[in-house]
């Protein structure tokens, strides 16, 4: 039996259907609210607003649950890898052997960046912000491959498999090229290697010495990307859907999502962790004084990488990647004062009642920053790594928008609080 919500406005009652998701999430279907009542809901930041129906990712922040297409993040981390999880997120099912092979082949065939595209890098200064470069170059894919970016949903969906694989593969290659451009190093061409090994090869190989990733290193990077594959309707994913709802092609929409991710309140969290650790080190502190100051409410001693805006208890990704962090640091035998400080903070947060009572546990950003530093990835590249990992989720959300025959352009409303109607004052009469 259909449930309804009763809303009373100006002594008049209105009923609206109640929607229930497959995991029991409930929402009031308010699509006709303005039409029936003249009112809208005010929800700054959309924290209580459902903007879409999606079958990609289920997130229960109260209980620390994250599932992609029904599969838990724990199972995927244990049994899957990033390319397979990317396929699952995009297409809805785990690939069979033939599908896995075909998808992998598309990724390999589309890894290289053509000479004309490489010239784009020449226009950027050596110290250009990596995310600004990434969004610009990814956006240019629409110009280089116009047959895949027609801004016509029907035509673009016909070429979707190639466009999706191209986006995932080239974002990875572009990321490696940005790193080398900023270092003043020559570009390294992709090889026939597994996804993460290929990325590390393009990042760190030299003409006189090819980089061969340790299995533990490649696995850790694979986990970082997998942990970020999708995360429901966050800022950048919602941006992807909003831009896509206008009919914009996949590459243009991806560039917009990358720009949203570049903001420090979204994709910059793991960068903020490293900046915090560096500031602690600069004060000749091993973390002890910083922790006490944080417990005392010092605004200058804010713990970054602890707690989460969505997860109220713990981030399920943090435990997985935290274990990988221990393995990598042990294998590499890294001696790094910032990593030592990070371990001190972690132990304090896991044992101190102050942090436990407030549920301030280390999150995925805390551990991913530590791993990437250990792998030699500089801090200014952290958000680029986030973008590479998140690309399957963005692509899957664009596909949902493009495939919805009843879809409409996103158009939020507002509450106007500016001046009321007034008369124009000639310049000579203005004070």
Tokens of 128: 């250009």
Residue 356: predicted pLDDT? 84
Given strand 12-20, what is the order of strands in its sheet? Answer: 4-9, 12-20, 26-28
**181 given a catalytic annotation:** no
3-state class of 201 per DSSP?
helix
Cα distance between residue 396 and residue 176, in whole Å: 23
Residue 105: predicted pLDDT? 97
Residue 1: predicted pLDDT? 73
Could you tell me if 399 and 90 are in contact, meaning their C-beta atoms sit under 8 angstroms apart? Answer: yes
CATH 2.20.28 spans which residues of the chain?
A: 4-65
Residue 322: predicted pLDDT? 86
Residue 109: predicted pLDDT? 96
CATH 1.10.230.10 spans which residues of the chain?
A: 269-375
Instruction: Report the top-level CATH class of 4-65.
Output: mainly beta
Residue 222: predicted pLDDT? 96
Q: Which of 68, 231, 308, 315 is catalytic?
A: 308
- Asked if CATH classification 3.40.190.10 holds for the domain at 269-375, the reply, yes or no, is no
Residue 347: predicted pLDDT? 83
Instruction: Report the top-level CATH class of 72-263+384-403.
Output: mainly alpha
Could you tell me if 254 and 233 are in contact, meaning their C-beta atoms sit under 8 angstroms apart? Answer: no
* Average pLDDT per block of 10 residues along the chain, 431 residues long: 88 92 91 91 90 96 93 97 98 98 97 94 95 97 97 96 98 98 96 96 94 93 96 96 98 98 90 88 90 82 82 84 87 80 83 84 85 92 97 98 95 95 96 90
Residue 329: predicted pLDDT? 86
Nearest to 82 by CA among 391, 377, 343: 391
Nearest to 179 by CA among 208, 209, 194, 199: 199
Residue 209: predicted pLDDT? 92
Could you tell me if 226 and 195 are in contact, meaning their C-beta atoms sit under 8 angstroms apart? Answer: no
Indicate the pTM of the whole model.
0.93
**C-alpha of 224 from chain center:** 11
Cα distance between residue 238 and residue 351, in whole Å: 37
Helices 235-245 and 250-261: angle between axes, nearest 10 degrees: 150
Taking phi over 0 as left and psi of -120 to 50 as alpha, with beta for the rest, 247 belongs to left
**365 given a catalytic annotation:** yes
């Amino acid at each position: 039996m259909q449930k309804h919500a009763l809303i009373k406005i100006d002594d008049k009652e209105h009923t609206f259907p109640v929607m229930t998701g497959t995991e029991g999430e409930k929402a009031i279907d308010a699509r006709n609210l303005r039409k029936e009542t003249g009112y809208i809901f005010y929800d700054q930041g959309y924290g209580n607003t459902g903007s879409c129906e999606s079958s990609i990712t289920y997130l229960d922040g109260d209980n620390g649950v994250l599932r992609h297409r029904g599969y838990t993040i724990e199972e995927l981390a244990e049994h899957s890898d990033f390319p397979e999880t990317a396929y699952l997120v995009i297409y809805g099912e785990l690939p069979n052997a033939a599908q896995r092979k075909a998808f992998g082949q598309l990724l390999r065939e589309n890894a290289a960046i053509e000479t004309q595209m490489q010239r784009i890098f020449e226009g950027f200064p050596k110290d250009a912000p990596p995310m600004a470069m990434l969004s610009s170059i990814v956006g240019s894919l629409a110009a280089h491959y116009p047959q895949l970016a027609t801004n016509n949903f029907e035509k673009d969906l016909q070429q979707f498999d190639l466009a999706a694989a191209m986006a995932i593969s080239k974002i990875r290659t572009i990321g490696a090229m940005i790193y080398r451009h900023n270092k003043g190093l020559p570009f390294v061409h992709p090889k026939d290697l597994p996804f993460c090994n290929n990325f590390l090869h393009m990042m760190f190989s030299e003409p006189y010495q090819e980089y061969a990733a340790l299995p533990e290193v490649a696995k850790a990077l694979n986990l970082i990307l997998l942990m970020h594959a999708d995360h429901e309707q966050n800022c950048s994913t919602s941006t992807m859907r909003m831009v896509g709802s206008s009919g914009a092609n996949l590459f243009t929409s991806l560039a917009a999502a990358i720009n949203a991710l570049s903001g420090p309140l979204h994709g910059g969290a793991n960068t903020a962790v490293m900046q915090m650790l560096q500031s602690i080190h600069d004060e000749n502190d091993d973390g002890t004084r910083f922790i006490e100051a944080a417990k005392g409410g010092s605004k200058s001693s804010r713990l970054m990488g602890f707690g989460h805006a969505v997860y109220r208890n713990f981030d399920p990704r943090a435990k997985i990647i935290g274990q990988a962090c221990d393995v990598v640091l042990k294998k590499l035998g890294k001696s790094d004062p910032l990593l030592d400080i990070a371990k001190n903070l972690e132990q304090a947060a896991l044992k101190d009642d102050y942090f436990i009572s407030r549920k301030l546990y280390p999150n995925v950003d805390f551990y991913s920053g530590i791993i990437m530093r250990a792998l030699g990835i500089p801090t200014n590249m952290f958000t680029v790594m986030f973008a590479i990992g998140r690309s399957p989720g963005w692509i899957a959300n664009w596909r949902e928008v493009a495939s919805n025959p009843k879809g409409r352009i996103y158009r939020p409303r507002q509450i106007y609080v500016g001046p009321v109607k007034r008369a124009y004052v000639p310049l000579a009469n203005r004070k």
